Structure 1
Amino acid sequence: MLLPLSMLIVAPVWADEHPGQAQLVQEVAKDTGKDPAALNALLDGAKKQQSILDAISRPAEAKPWSEYRPIFITPARIDEGIRFYRDHRALLEKIGAQYGVAPEYIVAILGVETFYGRNTGNYKVLDALVTLGLYYPPRATFFRGELKTLLELPDNMLAGPLDTLTGSYAGAQGWGQFMPDSIRDYGVDEDGDGRIDLQNSLPDIFASVANYFAKHGWVKGGPVAARAQPDAAAKPLTVKDSAPQWPVEQLEAWGYGPLQHLDPGALSSMQTFQGASGSEYWFTFQNFYVITRYNRSPMYAMAVHQLAQAIAEGVNSPESATQ
């Protein structure tokens, strides 16, 4: 297959072109004791890629919900999620119980992120983080921090040699697309082999996603989202993020009626999405907020939620039980 020209035009990164590299190497060497020459060799071998800069400038989250949802909620992704859950039911349910996280949400994260491990990304992780840390001023601070963390991670927290790792254009790795700081803070060696391998070990992959949710405050058995129907006089709301801030009964008093029974005292937020048939209003709860710690877009969290619900419905259907 022919690659786009933008993916073929790359330029080597040299320390003397980027004064920040010397400081970065000094910081990592001081923090870890790693050899500065070896660190410089790694960074000198990285490549700036214009296609990475192009990709980060057009994220899917810039689309409206009516266009975003069909990317992730498809018959193929649902069917494959049902099969994947069924094939790994024992392990998923064991880890779900261990961390208090519904297994269908572990599966849905993998479905949205990488289509259950099929598309984990073909960019060199070093290329991605060097490109964005040195050549993308709008978020250079964040990506430089991730590059520093990557260089500081011990070998047993990576799926292989650092200069061989591949991932997304943003430097995310493995089936769950963990950034380096997430590997450091939430990665789990579930299979007990002495390595956190988010590319090849399903126990490590499942447990790391579940641990991420649990550490961010997932409520076992708690609600995620529920449809609302505003009346004509509903109070306009200004919602900064999806952190729960109002009891359901307060939102009801303001004119937002739930379409199913909800605990009146449960803390919630109200999200609005521009769907194919007009505005959609949703009560969202702590577990929805937790999903947005994985990706801050409320549309992402809703896609994960709806995919998880579809997978659970399929897995628990009588037809599924006989397969």
Structure 2
Amino acid sequence: MRFPTLGALALTFLTLVAAPAHALNVNKYPALRSFIADMAEQHGYSDPQLRRVFRCARIRPEIIEAMERPKELLPWYEYSNIFLTEENVQRGVRFWKKHAATLTRAREQYGVAPEIVVAIIGVETQFGRNQGGYLILDSLTTLMLDYPPRSAFFRQELTEFLLLARELDVDPCRFKGSYAGAMGLPQFMPSNYRRYAVDFDSDGKRDILASPEDAIGSVAHYLKEHGWETGAPVADDAHLEGTLYFWIEKLGLKPALPVRQLTRYGIFPRRPDNAERRAALISLEGEYGPFFRLGYNNFYVITRYNHNKRYAMAVYDLGERIRQRMEEKPPS
């Protein structure tokens, strides 16, 4: 599916940047020459066309450095302080109120709780305030060429990015986003942009960079496609007894055992609602020692957005704080 030319609207859709001072020499990188050849064979690009594109790319060592020290490696008591702030709660309330009709429509269409959609956009970009300052082409090219642990993944994302730019009929040298190549209010990787972004404001294009409506619909669509259960809980505090629970944590983030079975190992939810509901035991680093929660299917779905348990818990906790603030009655 091709999208209409953005033309004059490109200035609102993209962040324009100057070309780098030093062009990338494609001939110095056999992996890049191979990539260009594959794109030409599989997707109909020409060799000169892609060489012109990569002349505006730079290899940026600071991107590799950022990949080696993601915030998700911080202990929970430090990581959570970045996102669970009064300022973020207030911003979340304002965002919800401003886009209440869109959030309601997304809930009706996809079944996803508004507070989760709002919190994801808050954690990802502070409600659009920080969408990233790296050229996507720089990020993905650097990571494909100079980050061996995940070079195959970023090679595929670079493919998806160039296809996305062609579909949108925009210059791939002008997209900006995160050091990992994510973009827009919800920070979708290019493959997820192509697969899950929706035109929720019905203007003829899927614009998650500048349209909060499209971002809201796209986040809800993503979660629904990954198994979100409407009306089901996300997480709960857990009370532990004994020591038999240790091996349950090793089962991972995907809920594997029903609550009734977990209780046999000394794991008790604070708000039990369904003994047959499957749950995972989630440990987090408190300032004075570990504490535990239960993560249900919807918690696992959030980890499909970002596979780190601290990220998913920050989304859940921020969403709960925003929802509770929305439900508070103004003082009389």
Distance 2:188 2:41 in 1: 25
Matches for 1:164-243 after TM superposition, within 5 Å: 164-237=174-247, 238-243=249-254
CA distance in 2, matches of 1:253, 1:69: 31
1:170 maps to amino acid: A
Residue 48 of structure 1 aligns to a residue in which SS? coil
The superposition leaves residues 128-170 of structure 1 with CA deviations (integer Å, 9 ceiling, x where unpaired) of: 0011111111211111111111112254448x53210000000
Letter in 1 for 2:149: P
* Equivalences for residues 69-88 of structure 1 within 5 A: 69-88=80-99
Partner of 1:313 in structure 2?
Answer: 324
Q: Which residue does 1:108 correspond to in 2?
A: 119
Q: How does 1:30-69 map to 2 (within 5 A)?
A: 30-69=41-80
Q: Which moved more, 1:305-314 or 1:268-277?
A: 268-277
| Displacement of 1:44 | 2.4
Percent identical among aligned pairs is 38
Cα shift at 1:102: 0.6
Q: For residue 203 of structure 1, report the CA deviation from its aligned partner.
A: 1.8
Partners of 1:16 and 1:44 in 2: how far apart? 11
Give, in whole Å, the separation in 1 of the partners of 2:315 and 2:163: 31
Q: Identify if the C-alpha distance between structure 1 residues 59 and 154 changes in structure 2 by more than 3 Å, giving closer, same or farther.
A: closer
Query: Structure 2 stretches of 5 or more lacking a match?
Result: 1-19
| Residue of structure 1 equivalent to 2:285 | 274
Indicate if the aligned counterparts of 1:157 and 1:197 stay in contact, CA closer than 8 A.
no
Rounded Cα–Cα distance in structure 1 between residues aligned with 2:251 and 2:151: 24
Q: Please report the TM-score for the alignment, with normalisation by the length of structure 2.
A: 0.90
Closer, same or farther: CA 42–223 of 1 in aligned 2, 3 Å = same
Aligned counterparts of 1:280 and 1:217: Cα–Cα separation in 2: 27
Partner SS, residue 59 of structure 2: strand
Q: Distance in 2 between matches of 1:10 and 1:109?
A: 36
Alpha-carbon distance, 1:105 to partner: 0.7
Give 2:191's aligned amino acid: D
Q: Is the 8 A contact 1:106 1:210 kept in 2?
A: yes
Counterpart mapping for 1:136-147 below 5 A: 136-147=147-158
- Looking at structure 1, the residues matched to 227 and 81 of structure 2 have their Cα atoms a distance apart, in angstroms, of 29
Deviations 1:63-87 (A, max 9, x none): 1111111011111111110111011
1:178 & 1:157 partners in 2: Cα distance? 15
Q: 1:194 corresponds to which letter in structure 2?
A: G
Instruction: Report the 3-state secondary structure (helix = DSSP H, G, I; strand = E; otherwise coil) of the residue aligned with 1:228.
Output: strand
Contact 2:251–2:280 (8 Å) recurs in 1: no
Change (3 A) 1:273 1:249: same
Task: Report the 3-state secondary structure (helix = DSSP H, G, I; strand = E; otherwise coil) of the residue aligned with 1:273.
Answer: strand
1:112–1:304 Cα contact (<8 Å) kept: yes
Q: CA RMSD in A?
A: 1.8
SS in 2 for 1:195: coil
SS in 2 for 1:86: helix
